[in-house]
Structure 1
Amino acid sequence: MYDDFDDYGEFFDEDLRANLLERAQEALDRGESDEALEYVEEYLEENPLDVEGLNLCAVAAANLGDDPKALALYDKALKLDPRNGALHHNYGVLLEKIGELDRAVLHYRRSLVLQPDFPEAYINLGNVLDEQGRSDEALAMYDQALRKMPDAPDAYYNKGFALNRLGRFEEALESFAKALQIEPQDAASHNGQGFALSGLGRDEEALVSYAQAISRDSQVATYPYNRALSLTRLARREEALADLDTALSLSPEFYEAMIEKAGVQGDLERFDAAMATLDQARVLQPTSPEADFYQGVLYERQGRLEDALTALNRSLDLDPGAIFALNNKGNVLIDLGRFDEALACFDAIIARTDSYPLAHYNRACLFALQKKVRPAVQALAEAGKADPRFFEDAA
């Protein structure tokens, strides 16, 4: 009789342990990772080598920001079960999160060898490849995911995002349209659609897409920022400025929005405000040359040539090979009558690239000012050689 009772107790314990794992999974599904962690750690006290428990514990720890603990748990689990595709995938997700992209790629690929019918792994691998600048490879992964799961809006969205990155805007529009057919309320897809439309020069249509994105999620700073870019191209600068202020209120350290705001303020000839914005940008990213470069541009527009030269030199100290800064510095030096120094700037550009015809053109202008006809003509010819459409576009 007592033996029967002991057997019943063993079954009860097994059922309780299984129930702990179920509760942990349910808590994760509800987004309650702290509760999940409590359940699964209790389970692992009695089952320290259980791979499913280690996996759930790692997921919960990662969700709670304890990445070192999650990494150690995945390492342990993979030593116990190296052919577990789900483990490799989840490990890849964590490695991607902490920026170890090469290792993430390896584990995603291993996951797909072990579980080739796992669409999410194709999507995540594509995302990492795209982040690494390998967008063509990423597209192949998204297409694989769509073969496995043709109605996956995430795959269409990410494919569209990669196509936008590659400048293949017509194809991107097709992908975002398919994503929105499946999930019409997805703000990110509306934003991606707007970006593709603006890339095609269809900024009025882009504004409609950006408005759809913002109406669905008003807390993402990128959406008003992108709309501001289209509004600026349409010369609707006051509206652009309002959107940039919105973007910065949502994300006060949004450096690109700060630089763009200064540009719009400069276009509106609010030079003091633009300078103040660029000062803020410099504090935010002191090693970036952009704030000093744009201050140089603004000083030049105001005729403050010495100040412009000082700002451009600061920019070049941070990025000595910056072509635009060298070109602007050369133009300022021409206006200051310092022709030899100006020529050195344009020559430095030509030494770095053969695809910047403006440097040849500016050399021609400089030689013309010095009444050096033959070198001026030769420099103009070089500008045309660097870009046969240069003079057509300039006109």
Structure 2
Amino acid sequence: MKKNLGIIFILLMMILSGCTLFSTTDPDFSREKYDSWYEQNQYDEALKHVYERLEKYPKDPLLYNEKGYILINMEQYEESLEPLEKAIELDDELDSSYSNKALSLNRTNEYEKAIVAAQKAIDISDQEPEQFINMGNAHSMLERDEKALEYYDKALEIDDSAPYALYGKGISLYFLQEYEESIPYLEEYLAYYTNDTEALWYLVYSYDLLEEYSATIPYLDKIIELKPEQTLDALDYKGLMLTYNGDFQKAEDIYDNIIEEFPDEGIGYYGKGVALIQLGEIDQGLEELENAIELNEALKDTAYSDPLLSSIYNNETFIKLTEL
């Protein structure tokens, strides 16, 4: 019998290449396997596995999409675009590739391009909240918050507990100056991501603008707990909120804490001075303001126009302190 070398050659190539002649996709692709790595933040392990599988299945769009998604999670947004484009080239109906591409483009500040990618994902499948969230995020970053709200609402119609849709809607409402309406969405988002200090700050700002000063305190305390590098700003804000709320003694205690922890920062002395003046201790308060201005001369301008100091605008010592 004559040997069919052609068949033997084909079979050999099938063995060496992982049968790519008949299969362009990885038969062992496991969504669960990757998800388990993501849950444990083992992105290097997941990326290593993708590279190994792509050597056998170099035309698998799912593997390229997964590579892009891993790079996104590693905050390598620019690098993620190449594998995502490859995934789209291999399968232009894979909605998650467009969705991931939109996410990366948002992170690289290419918002108009992100809108195009997000729209393509929506055109392919309009039953995933992520597509609408990506679209909302792009419009929000372009300061089109009313438009962004339309997409966040569509995402919430699909999944009324989608965290990033809740966050996006809360932020858009905030920038539309709908502070009271923004609060429930931001608070619901924080039920999922309790340690997101950016969301905590937006709640602080919202309650401040609504003049509900005492409501800011728990969020400021949480920021201080989570972000030591933001302690000075959060303590200063807390002291200010207590002052606005009429809790002058508590505010003085906060500023004493700042002076102890940050003795070279004028803001602690400034805040204490304001609190003392509100308590009627004018001379002592002015001494603290003088200490503040010696440490930070820019506080002279702050004091000059501070409404909390309006009661001493005509005080001779204060006038000398704030002379430009």
Structure 1 CA distance for aligned equivalents of residues 260 and 146 of structure 2 = 38
Provide the residue aligned with 1:212 in structure 2. Answer: 154
Provide the residue aligned with 1:297 in structure 2. Answer: 237
Q: Tell me the alpha carbon deviations over residues 42-61 of structure 1, each in whole angstroms, 9 at most, x when there is no partner.
A: xxxxxxxxxxxxxxxxxxxx
Provide the residue aligned with 1:56 in structure 2. Answer: none
Say if 2:290 is the partner of 1:337: yes
Matched letter for residue 96 of structure 2: D
- Alpha carbons of 1:188 and 1:252: their partners in 2 closer, same or farther (altered >3 Å)? closer
After superposition, where does 1:234-249 map in structure 2 within 5 Å? 234-248=176-190
Structure 2 CA distance for aligned equivalents of residues 140 and 177 of structure 1 = 19
Matched letter for residue 109 of structure 1: Y
Provide the residue aligned with 2:192 in structure 1. Answer: 251
Unpaired runs of 5+ residues, structure 2, are: 1-15, 20-25, 275-288, 305-319
- Alpha carbons of 1:231 and 1:108: their partners in 2 closer, same or farther (altered >3 Å)? same
- Alpha carbons of 1:270 and 1:186: their partners in 2 closer, same or farther (altered >3 Å)? same
Structure 2 CA distance for aligned equivalents of residues 269 and 115 of structure 1 = 60
- Alpha carbons of 1:252 and 1:143: their partners in 2 closer, same or farther (altered >3 Å)? closer
Provide the residue aligned with 1:118 in structure 2. Answer: 60
Matched letter for residue 55 of structure 2: V
Provide the residue aligned with 2:144 in structure 1. Answer: 202
Structure 1 CA distance for aligned equivalents of residues 256 and 70 of structure 2 = 41
- Alpha carbons of 1:92 and 1:230: their partners in 2 closer, same or farther (altered >3 Å)? closer
Report the CA distance between 1:119 and its aligned residue: 1.0
Provide the residue aligned with 2:164 in structure 1. Answer: 222
Provide the residue aligned with 1:18 in structure 2. Answer: none
Normalising by the residue count of structure 1, what TM-score does the alignment of the two structures yield?
0.57
Q: Which moved more, 1:300-309 or 1:163-172?
A: 300-309
Higher relative contact order (CA 8 A, sep 6+): 2
**Does structure 2 retain, via aligned residues, the 8 Å contact 1:289–1:314?**
no
Unpaired runs of 5+ residues, structure 1, are: 1-80, 321-325, 344-361, 374-395
Q: Which of 259, 278, 302 is equivalent to 2:220?
A: 278
Q: Percent identity?
A: 20
Say if 2:110 is the partner of 1:168: yes
Counterpart secondary structure, 2:296: helix
Counterpart secondary structure, 2:290: coil
Q: Tell me the alpha carbon deviations over residues 328-353 of structure 1, each in whole angstroms, 9 at most, x when there is no partner.
A: 6697599722234336xxxxxxxxxx
- Alpha carbons of 1:342 and 1:213: their partners in 2 closer, same or farther (altered >3 Å)? same
Q: Which of 87, 94, 109 is equivalent to 1:152?
A: 94
**Does structure 1 retain, via aligned residues, the 8 Å contact 2:220–2:238?**
no
Structure 2 CA distance for aligned equivalents of residues 93 and 221 of structure 1 = 18
Provide the residue aligned with 1:386 in structure 2. Answer: none
Report the CA distance between 1:133 and its aligned residue: 1.7
Counterpart secondary structure, 2:126: coil
Alignment size in residue pairs: 264
Report the CA distance between 1:103 and its aligned residue: 2.5
Say if 2:45 is the partner of 1:106: no
Structure 1 CA distance for aligned equivalents of residues 172 and 259 of structure 2 = 31
**Does structure 2 retain, via aligned residues, the 8 Å contact 1:289–1:316?**
no
Report the CA distance between 1:309 and its aligned residue: 3.6
Structure 2 CA distance for aligned equivalents of residues 215 and 89 of structure 1 = 29
Structure 2 CA distance for aligned equivalents of residues 241 and 206 of structure 1 = 17
- Alpha carbons of 1:118 and 1:312: their partners in 2 closer, same or farther (altered >3 Å)? farther
Matched letter for residue 255 of structure 1: D
Provide the residue aligned with 1:268 in structure 2. Answer: 210
**Does structure 2 retain, via aligned residues, the 8 Å contact 1:210–1:226?**
yes
Normalising by the residue count of structure 2, what TM-score does the alignment of the two structures yield?
0.68
